[in-house]
Amino acid sequence: MSPNFSIAEENYIKSIYNLQQVNDAVSTTALAEHLKSKPASITDMLKKLQAKGLLLYNPYKTFRLSKEGIKAALSIIRRHRLWESFLVHKLQFSWEEVHEVAEELEHVRSKKLIDKLDGFLGYPKFDPHGDPIPDTNGKINIQQQLPLSSLPLNKQAIITAVQDQSSELLSFLSSLKIVIGTRLEIKRRLAFDNSLEIKCRNRQPVNISEQVANAIQVNPL
Amino acid sequence: MSPNFSIAEENYIKSIYNLQQVNDAVSTTALAEHLKSKPASITDMLKKLQAKGLLLYNPYKTFRLSKEGIKAALSIIRRHRLWESFLVHKLQFSWEEVHEVAEELEHVRSKKLIDKLDGFLGYPKFDPHGDPIPDTNGKINIQQQLPLSSLPLNKQAIITAVQDQSSELLSFLSSLKIVIGTRLEIKRRLAFDNSLEIKCRNRQPVNISEQVANAIQVNPL
DNA sequence: AATAATTTTTAGGCAAACCTAAAAAAAATA
DNA sequence: TATTTTTTTTAGGTTTGCCTAAAAATTATT
């Protein structure tokens, strides 16, 4: 008897989950931006989610999902990622265009459908973006994390975190379109300074220093 | 630029389409029953649909979809029937349990998704219930209708109508679990009385008289 | 044709999910 | 610490889609 949430609620739950993966707790403004809505609307929904026991929330403070909320989030994320896999592997959608469609499909709430789809796809462990797919029970493969500098040559990996107090590095990387979630591999390792030539999907390779590579955490696929 | 309808609107359009297939025009009460809602709610929506040019409607009279409305209906029905096919043929859902899930999937409005799904399924002409699937342009195969008595041996067909004033025949047939929509084929034709041995899917064959076979209209697959 | 019964619409409300503008609280700064 | 700035919440409003109860129109019956 897993409870049923409205589409709006599901979107909030998923967004909060995604944001708190990065920052541990979420602010009203951040969530409003993520959902392209207004802070006042967020407050409305926070109260509803808290009343349902999905959210740990004190007025004027940041908030995060409860155990229950995380369970709900993982089930929504499972649906999303399985549909993305279906779209790419069965319907030949390209990697970039699946998100929007999966965003709609994920709201079809039939456990049987999703479990059958999972089987049809061969119980994939990762979606086409390299993100892990939670299993029927909501268990998600803990992402193995290592510094980019220790990633073997030509092995694909996803950026999971960037160690950076100043956020200078973060903005440098994001100017290169390298952000958390970006999939990349190392094409070359230059011996004289240990700098790396990295390649993101279909983009031109870029060169980064050993120090930067040490600060980037990745999850090998 | 096909216009986008809300889920509620789509459900109304589809129900009106289905009802007017039987009766040519639809009444407020009939639609309310079909949608499990109340007549007053129907009136509300009728005004909206008329304002959008989807409905031919005069207050206190029966109504029907406009050209535009039929076009919209066919696109929704296309989605529904393709998803039903997917569920049965790819995910091994049984024939009876697909409707509910397809009811949700049909509201995912991505033409590209549906056209790709169509290709993935091999451009099926009929859904698992035997109902015809409209093509990308909304063209639907007109159901060829003939009396069961003229159906060739071993050719599958779907019952589309039963000619019966008294409804005595209808209740007799439904006691045999033979209703509109039932899929069957003729296994034997007995020469001495022209009675037929018919077989429905995985059930035991039953025998029906020539008169009954004349009253049953079918659509060969 | 007049009246009764049924069907449909109108009127007024409700809940969900959003919004803007103003008030309150928290955080940053002088 | 006091003040300013930023963030969050409250108050009140909108739209969509539904509801009930009463009024109006249509249909059926006498």
- Model confidence at A98: pLDDT above 70: yes
**For residue B112, what pLDDT band results from cuts at 50, 70 and 90?**
very high
User: CA–C1' span, B38 to D27, in Å?
Assistant: 21
Q: Give CA separation, B184 vs A14, A33, B155, B196, B199, in Å.
A: 47, 56, 8, 12, 6
Least confident of A1-15, A178-192, B51-65: A178-192
A110 shares contact with chain B (CB less than 8 Å): yes
**pLDDT range class, residue A43, cuts 50, 70, 90:** very high
Q: What is the pLDDT of residues A120-178, one digit of tens each?
A: 999 998 888 767 899 999 998 777 788 898 898 998 998 877 776 566 777 788 788 88
For strand A216-220 and strand B55-57, is the pairing parallel, antiparallel, or unpaired? Answer: unpaired
DSSP state of B156: -
Give the least confident one: A106-110, B38-42, B151-155: B151-155
Is B116 in CB contact (< 8 Å) with chain A? Answer: yes
Token output for B128: 């698992």
How far apart CA A2 and CA A72 sit, in angstroms, is: 9
User: What is B7-65's CATH number, 3.30.930.10, 1.10.1740.10, 1.10.10.10, 1.10.3720.10?
Assistant: 1.10.10.10
CB contact set of A95 (below 8 Å; sequence gap of 6+): A88, A128, A129, A201
Q: Gap from B110 CA to C7 C1', in Å? A: 39
Nearest protein residue to the C1' atom of C24, measured from CA: A60
pLDDT at A126: 82
Could you say which of A91, A104, A117 has the minimum Cβ distance to residue B91?
A: A117
Among protein residues, the one whose C-alpha sits closest to the C1' atom of C25 is A60
pLDDT class for A77, splitting at 50, 70, 90? very high
Contact, B58 CB vs strand D, < 7 Å: no
Which nucleotide comes closest to B12 if you measure CA to C1'?
Answer: D17
pLDDT > 90: what percent of chain B?
Answer: 59
Residues in B closer than 8 angstroms to A116, CB to CB, are: 91-93
The protein footprint on chain D, as nucleotides within 7 A of a CB, is 7-12, 16-22, 25-27
Residue A185: predicted pLDDT? 92
Provide the residue ranges of all domains of chain A, joining segments of one domain with +: 7-65, 146-220
Q: Which residue among A91, A104, A110 places its CB closest to the CB of B116? A: A91
* B87 to A113: CB separation less than 8 angstroms, yes or no: yes
Question: What is the fold of B146-220?
Answer: SH3 type barrels. (2.30.30)
- The pLDDT score that the predictor gives to residue B6 is 98
Higher-pLDDT residue of B115 and A143 is: B115
pLDDT for the residue numbered A167: 64
Looking at residue B5, its pLDDT comes to: 97
The class that CATH gives domain B81-142 is mainly alpha
* Sequence-separated (6 or more) residues with CB below 8 Å from residue B29: B39
B93 to A93, A105, B86: CA distances (angstroms): 24, 18, 9
Chain A residues with CB under 8 Å of B111 CB are none
pLDDT in the model for residue B2: 74
Equal fold, A7-65 vs A146-220:
no
